[in-house]
């Protein structure tokens, strides 16, 4: 459950910046969780560094989760962490619904994809 615990605390830090600050300033708050000493250190380090966007991938907690073998995260924790990471990165959390989109959009091939940008350097080369 320890992996779930560190992922859960990190999710809370991502969704609530004030909680991140609390962890950074008063690490004792982590004692209420089932965390190892190493995991607490990782979370404190995470709380004290500024990470955003794609650098989330290389943050202390994500690195820890990848480097430590153990049971998989429970589905709600995994899903919750993914949602939180996407939210911080400004990415959609579900289907592209709403004006200008369609509720079944973006399903290959039945909802039609939206045409993307082509890098300029690739234009004019038969591609």
Partner 1 sequence: MTLASQASREARPGGRWSTPDLLTDLLRLAALERAVAHVIAGWVPKVPDLDDKLAIAAGFEDAMVRASALRQHALALLERDELGLAADPLWTAPLRELDRCADQAAVVDGLLGDVPSFLLDRYRALEAGLDPLLDTRLIATVSTAIGRLASDVSPIGTAARRRVHQGSLAAALASAWTGQSAARVPLDDALWQPNDRVPVPARPAGRERPTTGVRGHFRKGSRLTIEDLAGELNDNVMAELCALELLCRSSYEHPRQPWSVHLAIARHGTDEARHAAIFRRLLNANGIDESTLHQHGANYEYSYEFPECEPGSERELLWRLIILCTVLEALAIDKLPVEIGGRDFVGQSDFARALDYIAADELFHTENGLRLTRRLCEKLNLDPILERERVHGRFFGRQRDVRIEYLEADADRAAAEIAILEAPDPDGVPYVSRTEVELRLRASFTIEECQQVERWQYNPVRHERLEAPVEPASS
**Could you tell me which residues come within 8 angstroms of residue 115 by beta carbon, excluding any fewer than 6 positions away?**
none
Classify the C-alpha dihedral 103-109-115-120 as positive or negative: positive
Q: Does residue number 75 form part of the binding site for partner 1 (CB under 8 A)?
A: yes
- Which residue's CB is nearer to partner 1, number 32 or number 93? 93
Task: Select from 69, 47, 46 the least CA-distant residue to 59.
Answer: 46
- Which residue's CB is nearer to partner 1, number 31 or number 122? 122
Q: Does residue number 120 form part of the binding site for partner 1 (CB under 8 A)?
A: no
Q: Are 10 and 81 in contact (CB under 8 A)?
A: yes
Q: How far apart are the first and last CA of the chain?
A: 49
Among residues 28, 31, 50, 99, which is the contact residue for partner 1, using CB under 8 A?
Answer: 99
- Which residue's CB is nearer to partner 1, number 9 or number 73? 73
Q: Give residues in contact with partner 1 (CB under 8 A).
A: 53-54, 57, 65-69, 72-73, 75-76, 78-79, 81-83, 85-86, 89-97, 99-119, 122, 126-127
């Amino acid at each position: 459950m320890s992996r779930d615990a560190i992922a859960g605390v990190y999710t809370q830090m991502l969704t609530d910046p004030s909680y991140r600050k609390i962890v950074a300033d008063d690490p004792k708050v982590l004692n209420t969780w089932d965390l190892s000493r190493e995991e607490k250190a990782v979370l404190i380090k995470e709380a004290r560094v500024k990470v955003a966007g794609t650098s989330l991938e290389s943050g202390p907690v994500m690195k820890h989760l990848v480097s430590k073998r153990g049971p998989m995260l429970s589905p709600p924790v995994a899903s919750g962490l993914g949602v939180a990471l996407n939210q911080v990165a400004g990415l959609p959390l579900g289907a592209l619904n709403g004006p200008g989109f369609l509720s079944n959009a973006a399903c290959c091939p039945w909802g039609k994809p939206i045409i993307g940008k082509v890098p300029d350097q690739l234009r004019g080369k038969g591609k």
